[in-house]
């Protein structure tokens, strides 16, 4: 029989209702009439955030498959912030670029509901359905600018490789089901613990296949091939949403599945993750150095950051688990800010996302240039930004778990990555303006979003202890 | 017909039809071959005491999803020459494609090795449980609407997303030519 | 009495055929069909495993997989239509971004 508590579903319901309201508003909107559909989204997201805060420490579970434990609620908080920032940035981009507002907000909010489901899911089937909700909406959002062939091609490539990896993920669920007879993560965990002495090839197969599925979603090398094209082809604001929300949700589910259900087999999957983490950090950084398109460069930067997160996952000790959560929060705010700036500076017919388009930005748009600089410094991991603290804790966790090699690789790649981040900063400050075509004014909402983002980056970087404590307390509930 | 013969018949049909699907030049032929493969799979499901799923497979997969594919193929009306003309094109594929095909073969070999080496799989598939229970539709309904309730509701969101997405991407816009 | 491993081998073969189809990329429709083959292969595994455990859970999971497959097919075909509007071709080589 199912659990009588509906509490854990409330954040998800808030977001879904907001999405439905957005669709209804679009349906009843007169032609040419302007409606603040984004406001509906904001209301829903704030409601979801408030309900998540109220659910803190209550460990509510619903239907046996959703657990609103502190870990899930923390990630939900990150996702709500991602959603709010995305809506704030989107408001001026949509009209400028001719994107249908109602459908855009509806898809974005539905995707977000899928992400929250993934963060809270206690069942592999629910993880799968939530993954599909999140992904299908994002495939559509990537190609929502039908007039741009590169967006459509990016959307197809993303869809193809996404569906391909979903099939692998599903096969992994099948083998897990075959061994355990259930898809509930807690039941699987107990069974695995009981069986850990027996080396069952089916379990190894299952773990491998599940890992392939997850690694695709978080753009781990060598499953990262879709990321540069998808991030470059999609509208900048969609890329910001994708690179932060999808990664956070997928990582949360990855951590939950492998650190609780498959934890007894950690000796088997840890070496694989070691290799993947190292490869991802190295390839992401090295190839990123060669990029001249800002969105593509940030795509490789995202790939590298996935590698750092994997290091935290691998460390799997107390510090490591809290570090993952903190890093996700820092990374989400930072990446969204960077893509937000790119989105706001674009124009309908040209993306203005090449490196040279940013020449002399400091002279013409100092506020945006400052935000971009702060975001890039945070991505590079320089103090006093959020990124610095995040990386510090990840590497500290790695060292305390004994993974000195990975920590060294991580530090080295961070140092190299600072090079390509600083290159953009230098471009913005030094050269004279060459390119016209950037919009003259940033709307109030956009500036508000930028202000929030920059504040968050510094807050996490200078006063991280509050959030870190929160993250540490979140871990104890499930692991 | 003895059950073993039925199994081999359906299995051969499913595998054969699927293998032909990826080799066809005309996408219409591919879709029709896949329908045949799905029919064979439905037969396998009946052998596994899952008659309801077998019927659902025919109705949903072969009857709805494949018809959707047929609609799109006919709508796009792509000429046959679009596919590779050269009969040896498969052999002369780019290097990466060959790597991919080899990887797929390795995947198959590894899966087969794993499946054959696990001891627990050698027993007959219908040893555990009662056929009457497994194939009963009321039992299906009971479990679906109790244990899998949330997944069921979540699926409705999924379908809604797919509908909105399909309309957004492929529908006609008012301000377009 | 047919052993479980036989069903799982059939499933593995189908899965591999689907994987090969995705890599071969004859035309865009065939690629989507290959993904459907892969999902069906997994369905067969689910039903077989479910029968072994003597529960209906395997069949129910298959319902959900079918629904997901339908949703994916719908969106995938919509993207193909959107692509077709740009290039009038189903040949993957015509699309410059579709490299691995």
Q: How far is A453 from chain B (nearest CA, A)?
A: 29
B87 pLDDT higher than 80: no
Q: What angle do CA A246, A247, A248 make, to 5 degrees?
A: 95
Picking from C15, C52, C75, the nearest residue to A139 by CB comes out as: C75
pLDDT band at A119 (very low <50, low <70, confident <90, very high): very high
A432 pLDDT higher than 70: no
A438 pLDDT higher than 80: no
pLDDT band at B125 (very low <50, low <70, confident <90, very high): low
What pLDDT, in 10s, does the model give residues A171-194? 999 999 998 888 888 888 888 888
> Domain segments of chain C: what residues?
4-94
B52 pLDDT higher than 60: yes
Cα–Cα distance for residue pair A352/A293, rounded to 1 Å: 9
- The arithmetic mean of pLDDT across residues A6-26, rounded, is 91
How confident is the model at residue A2, as a pLDDT?
43
Q: How far is B151 from chain A (nearest CA, A)?
A: 6
The secondary structure of residue A61, as a DSSP letter, is E
Which of B147, A365, B119, A188 shows the shortest CA–CA distance to C55? B147
Cβ of B130 within 8 Å of Cβ of C9? The answer is no
- The arithmetic mean of pLDDT across residues B93-115, rounded, is 72
Cα–Cα distance for residue pair B77/A405, rounded to 1 Å: 56
DSSP assignment of B93-109 equals --HHHHHHHHHHHHHHH
Question: Between these two residues, A395 and A35, which has the higher pLDDT value?
Answer: A395
Q: By a Cβ cutoff of 8 Å, what residues of chain B touch chain A?
A: 111, 114, 117-118, 146-151, 154-155, 157-158, 160-162, 164-165, 167-169, 173-174
H or E element, residue A336: helix A318-345
What pLDDT, in 10s, does the model give residues A279-303? 999 999 999 888 888 889 999 999 9
Cβ of B150 within 8 Å of Cβ of A62? The answer is yes
> Please, which chains are in contact with C (at least 3 CB pairs closer than 8 A)?
A, B
Cα–Cα distance for residue pair A452/A108, rounded to 1 Å: 20
Please, what is the average pLDDT of chain A? 85
Question: Between these two residues, A321 and A377, which has the higher pLDDT value?
Answer: A377
A262 pLDDT higher than 80: yes
Total length of chain A: 479
H or E element, residue B168: helix B149-170
Cβ of B158 within 8 Å of Cβ of A129? The answer is yes
DSSP assignment of A380-448 equals HT-TTSHHHHHHHHHHHHHHHTT-HHHHHHHHHHHHHHHHHHHHHHHHHHHSPP------S---HHHHH
B177 pLDDT higher than 50: no
Which of B169, B9, B14 shows the shortest CA–CA distance to A142? B169
pLDDT band at B37 (very low <50, low <70, confident <90, very high): very high
Check: CB of residue A76 under 8 Å from CB of residue A11: yes
Tokens 């032929």 correspond to what residue? B29
What pLDDT, in 10s, does the model give residues A58-73? 778 888 888 888 888 9
A268 CB near a chain C CB, below 8 Å? no
> Number of residue pairs across A and C with CB atoms under 8 Å?
98
Cβ of C8 within 8 Å of Cβ of B115? The answer is yes
The interface predicted TM-score of the complex, written ipTM, equals: 0.94
Q: How far is B107 from chain A (nearest CA, A)?
A: 11
pLDDT band at A478 (very low <50, low <70, confident <90, very high): low
Cα–Cα distance for residue pair A114/A158, rounded to 1 Å: 18
Question: Between these two residues, A166 and B177, which has the higher pLDDT value?
Answer: A166
A259 pLDDT higher than 60: yes
Which of A211, A377, A378, A219 shows the shortest CA–CA distance to A283? A219
Q: How far is C45 from chain A (nearest CA, A)?
A: 6
Cα–Cα distance for residue pair A381/A415, rounded to 1 Å: 9
Domain boundaries C4-94, CATH class = mainly alpha
A358 pLDDT higher than 80: no
How confident is the model at residue A306, as a pLDDT?
92
Picking from B114, B151, B165, the nearest residue to A65 by CB comes out as: B151
Torsion, Cα of A251, B152, B146, A69 (10° steps)? 20
How confident is the model at residue A4, as a pLDDT?
56
Tell me the two tokens of residue A184: 């509930």
Tell me the two tokens of residue C81: 């239509």
Check: CB of residue C10 under 8 Å from CB of residue C44: yes
- The arithmetic mean of pLDDT across residues C21-31, rounded, is 85
Start-to-end Cα distance in chain A: 26
What pLDDT, in 10s, does the model give residues A371-391? 888 888 888 888 878 888 888
With beta carbons under 8 A apart, name residues in chain B contacting A125. Answer: 148, 151
Cβ of C24 within 8 Å of Cβ of B90? The answer is yes
Nearest CA in chain B to A143: B169
Of chain A, the percentage scoring pLDDT greater than 90 comes to 34
How many other C-beta atoms lie within 10 A of the C-beta of residue A402?
Answer: 11
How confident is the model at residue A1, as a pLDDT?
38
Check: CB of residue C65 under 8 Å from CB of residue B151: no
Cα–Cα distance for residue pair A331/A304, rounded to 1 Å: 11
C98 CB near a chain B CB, below 8 Å? no
Which of A270, A262, A251, A282 shows the shortest CA–CA distance to A203? A262
How many other C-beta atoms lie within 10 A of the C-beta of residue A117?
Answer: 31
C85 pLDDT higher than 60: yes
| Cα radius of gyration (chain B) | 21
Nearest CA in chain C to A174: C46
Q: How far is C97 from chain B (nearest CA, A)?
A: 15
A441 pLDDT higher than 80: no
Please, what is the average pLDDT of chain B? 82
Question: Between these two residues, A96 and C48, which has the higher pLDDT value?
Answer: C48
How confident is the model at residue A351, as a pLDDT?
67
Question: Between these two residues, A463 and C42, which has the higher pLDDT value?
Answer: C42
- The arithmetic mean of pLDDT across residues A118-146, rounded, is 94
Of chain A, the percentage scoring pLDDT greater than 70 comes to 94
3-state DSSP helix/strand/coil % of chain C, to nearest 5: 80, 0, 20
Alpha-helical runs (H) found in A10-99: 10-28, 37-54, 70-97
Which of C61, C31, C67, B64 shows the shortest CA–CA distance to A133? C67
How confident is the model at residue B78, as a pLDDT?
65
How confident is the model at residue A372, as a pLDDT?
86
CB contact residues (below 8 A), chain A span 189-228, against chain C = 225
How confident is the model at residue B31, as a pLDDT?
94
> Please, which chains are in contact with A (at least 3 CB pairs closer than 8 A)?
B, C
Cβ of A133 within 8 Å of Cβ of B154? The answer is yes
Question: Between these two residues, B75 and C98, which has the higher pLDDT value?
Answer: B75
Nearest CA in chain B to C19: B104
């Amino acid at each position: 029989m199912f659990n009588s508590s509906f509490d854990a579903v409330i954040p998800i319901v808030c977001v879904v209702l907001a999405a439905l309201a957005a669709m209804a508003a679009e349906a009843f909107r007169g032609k040419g009439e302007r409606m603040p559909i984004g406001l509906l989204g904001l209301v829903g997201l704030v409601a979801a955030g408030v309900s998540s805060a109220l659910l803190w420490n209550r460990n509510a579970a619903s239907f046996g498959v959703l657990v609103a434990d502190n870990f899930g609620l923390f990630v939900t908080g990150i996702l709500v912030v991602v959603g709010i920032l995305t809506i704030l940035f989107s408001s001026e981009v949509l009209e400028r670029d001719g994107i249908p507002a109602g459908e855009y907000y509806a898809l974005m909010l539905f995707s977000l509901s899928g992400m929250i489901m993934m963060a809270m899911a206690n069942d592999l089937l629910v993880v799968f359905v939530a993954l599909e909700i999140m992904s299908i909406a994002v495939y559509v959002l990537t190609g929502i600018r039908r007039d741009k062939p590169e967006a459509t091609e990016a959307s197809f490539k993303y869809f193809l490789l996404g569906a391909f990896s979903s099939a692998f993920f599903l096969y992994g669920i099948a083998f897990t089901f075959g061994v355990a007879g259930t898809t509930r993560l807690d039941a699987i965990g107990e069974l695995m613990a009981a069986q850990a002495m027996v080396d069952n090839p089916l379990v190894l197969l299952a773990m491998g296949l599940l890992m392939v599925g997850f690694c695709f979603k978080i753009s781990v090398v060598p499953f990262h091939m879709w990321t540069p094209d998808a991030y470059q082809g999609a509208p900048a604001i969609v890329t910001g949403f994708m690179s932060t929300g999808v990664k956070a949700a997928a990582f949360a589910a990855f951590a939950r599945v492998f650190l609780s259900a498959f934890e007894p087999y950690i000796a088997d999957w840890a070496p694989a993750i070691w290799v993947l983490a190292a490869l991802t950090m190295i390839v992401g950084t090295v190839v990123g150095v060669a990029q001249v398109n800002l969105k593509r460069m940030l795509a490789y930067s995202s790939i590298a950051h996935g590698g750092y997160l994997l290091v935290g996952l691998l460390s799997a000790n107390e510090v490591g688990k809290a570090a993952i959560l903190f890093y996700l929060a820092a990374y989400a705010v930072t990446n969204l800010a960077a893509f937000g700036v790119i989105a706001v500076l674009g124009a309908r017919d040209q993306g203005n996302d090449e490196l040279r388009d940013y020449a002399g930005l400091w002279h013409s748009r100092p506020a945006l240039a400052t935000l971009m600089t702060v975001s890039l410094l945070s991505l590079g991991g320089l103090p006093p930004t959020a990124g610095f603290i995040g990386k510090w804790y990840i590497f500290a966790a790695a060292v305390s778990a004994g993974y000195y090699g990975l920590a060294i690789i991580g530090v080295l790649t961070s140092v190299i990555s600072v090079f390509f981040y600083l290159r953009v900063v230098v471009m913005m400050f030094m050269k004279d303006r060459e390119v016209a075509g950037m919009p003259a004014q940033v709307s109030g909402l956009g500036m508000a979003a930028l202000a929030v983002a920059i504040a968050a980056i510094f807050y996490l970087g200078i006063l991280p202890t509050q959030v870190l404590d929160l993250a540490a307390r979140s871990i104890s509930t499930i692991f | 017909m003895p059950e073993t013969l039925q199994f081999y018949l359906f299995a051969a049909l499913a595998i054969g039809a699927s293998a032909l699907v990826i080799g066809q030049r005309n996408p219409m032929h591919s879709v029709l071959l896949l329908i045949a493969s799905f029919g064979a799979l439905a037969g396998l499901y009946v052998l596994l005491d899952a008659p309801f799923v077998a019927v659902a497979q025919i109705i949903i997969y072969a009857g709805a999803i494949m018809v959707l594919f047929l609609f799109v193929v006919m709508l796009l009306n792509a000429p046959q020459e679009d596919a590779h003309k050269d009969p040896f094109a498969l052999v002369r594929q780019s290097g990466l494609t060959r790597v991919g095909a080899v990887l797929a073969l390795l995947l198959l070999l590894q899966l087969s090795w794993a499946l054959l080496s696990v001891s627990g799989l050698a027993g007959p598939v219908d040893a555990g449980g009662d056929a009457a229970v497994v194939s009963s539709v009321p039992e299906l309904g009971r479990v679906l609407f109790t244990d899998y309730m949330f997944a069921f509701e979540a699926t409705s969101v999924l379908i809604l997303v797919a509908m909105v997405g399909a309309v957004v991407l492929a529908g006609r816009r008012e301000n377009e030519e | 009495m047919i052993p479980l491993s036989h069903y799982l081998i059939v499933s593995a073969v189908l899965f591999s055929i689907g994987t090969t189809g995705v890599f071969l990329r004859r035309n865009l429709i065939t690629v989507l069909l290959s993904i459907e083959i892969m999902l069906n292969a997994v369905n067969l595994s689910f039903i077989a495993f479910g029968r072994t455990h003597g529960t209906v859970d395997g069949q129910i999971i298959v319902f959900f997989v079918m629904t997901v497959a339908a949703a994916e097919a719908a969106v995938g075909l919509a993207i193909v239509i959107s692509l077709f509007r740009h290039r009038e071709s189903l040949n993957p080589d015509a699309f410059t971004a579709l490299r691995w």
